[in-house]
Amino acid sequence: MCGRYVLIADPNLIQQEFNLSGVPEIGGQRYNIAPTQTLPVITNEKPGEISYLRWGLVPSWSKDPSIGAKMNNARSETAAEKPSFRTPFRRRRCLIPASGFYEWQQRENGKAPMFISLKDREVFAMAGLWDIWTSPEGQELRTFSVLTTDANEFMQPIHDRMPVILRREDYGLWLSDNVAVPKLQSLMRGYDPKLMTAYEVSKAVNKAGMDTPECIVPLAS
């Protein structure tokens, strides 16, 4: 799963990484992004710019937006068939810029928070789905979910799931229209384990309101 992530990249780098039309306004450096927050993503509707969506997908057919609290993640293995995700999987996909993410490793003395990132890249894209829910009053709510997959060899000692991290060369395909489902599903795999790194951080990150550089400082051994 993916319940927290980080975005601390320079906006100019984000523009270059995602081939945006201009330098994006990303709302400052974020060290502990949590569900229900409104966050920068790149949708297939507007692939050349940043859009702001709330984390926790609310399906368009839902009677109540509170369902989004349970929709932070979508299992990539079943997303194309699940009622909540099958339409977004076909029609509404997004890139979620990130500098890293957190996962909690189970140990004898409890769970230890780990910060995971890529060795060679300051920013990357997690694969996401998005949707539009309209209230009875006609107000639109745009939300997204992070796709997850089985952990690769690097992540397995930490957790059995991980976000789908897309290769740079697959960004365009993921945002393209009229792509066959099997082709999209072929992108739903664990990232190259040799290109990942991780270290333990302070349990201060457990608090969703804690959003400072302290969150990603390596824990002293």
Q: Is 2 a catalytic residue?
A: yes
How far from 176 is each of 87, 89, 115, 143, CA to CA, in Å? 15, 12, 31, 19
Among 2, 17, 94, 215, the active-site one is 2
Residues 25, 12 contacting (CB under 8 angstroms): no
Assigned token pair, 69: 């609290």
CA distance 179 to 9: 30
94 annotated active-site: no
How far apart are the C-alpha atoms of 172 and 177, rounded to whole Å?
10
User: Can you read off the two tokens belonging to residue 14?
Assistant: 């984000």
Residue among 49, 77, 94, 103 flagged as catalytic: 103
Q: CB-based contacts of 64: which residues, under 8 Å, 6+ apart?
A: none
* Closest to 104 measured CA to CA, from 214, 213, 212, 4: 4
The residues that are catalytic are 2, 103
